[in-house]
Amino acid sequence: GQSLEQPSEVTAVEGAIVQINCTYQTSGFYGLSWYQQHDGGAPTFLSYNALDGLEETGRFSSFLSRSDSYGYLLLQELQMKDSASYFCAVEDRDDKIIFGKGTRLHILP
């Protein structure tokens, strides 16, 4: 079967750094992406990794290790507005995009 595992909830303090992990088991793999969704809003695209390594986009970075079927999203200098759910997603060999169940990020002042 296909699955993506990520923690259901993570709590961090404003100004700190937090890492959200994602492990995947899919039939084929073309890339790992991350999406952010605020309550009542639509998921919005954050980042995409097709190759091993770290991709940085402002305060957000995403890492991929294809050999470990593992990736993470790193959020730095946390702000209250970063409180949201974060989803990892994998494109499998059939070109389907499979999403994880999401990680709820709580930020404390």
Partner 1 sequence: KAGVTQTPRYLIKTRGQQVTLSCSPISGHRSVSWYQQTPGQGLQFLFEYFSETQRNKGNFPGRFSGRQFSNSRSEMNVSTLELGDSALYLCASSLKADNYGYTFGSGTRLTVV
| Part of the chain binding partner 1 (CB under 8 A), chosen from 14-22, 25-33, 54-62, 65-73 | 25-33
User: Does 7 help bind partner 1 (rule: CB under 8 A)?
Assistant: no
| Tokens of residue 44, six digits | 């919005």
Sequence-distant (6+) residues with CB within 8 A of 12 are: 18, 75, 78, 105, 106, 107, 108
x/- letters, 65..104, toward partner 1 (CB under 8 A): ----------------------x-xxx--xxxxxxxxx--
* 59, 75 Cβ separation under 8 angstroms: yes
For the bound state, the minimum distance from the C-beta of residue 89 to partner 1, rounded and expressed in Å, comes to: 7
Sequence length of the chain is 109
* Binder among 30, 52, 53, 108 for partner 1 (CB under 8 A): 30
Our finding on whether 35 is near partner 1 (CB under 8 A) is yes
Q: 33 is written with which tokens?
A: 């992406």
Binding residue (CB under 8 A) for partner 1 from 48, 65, 69, 83:
48
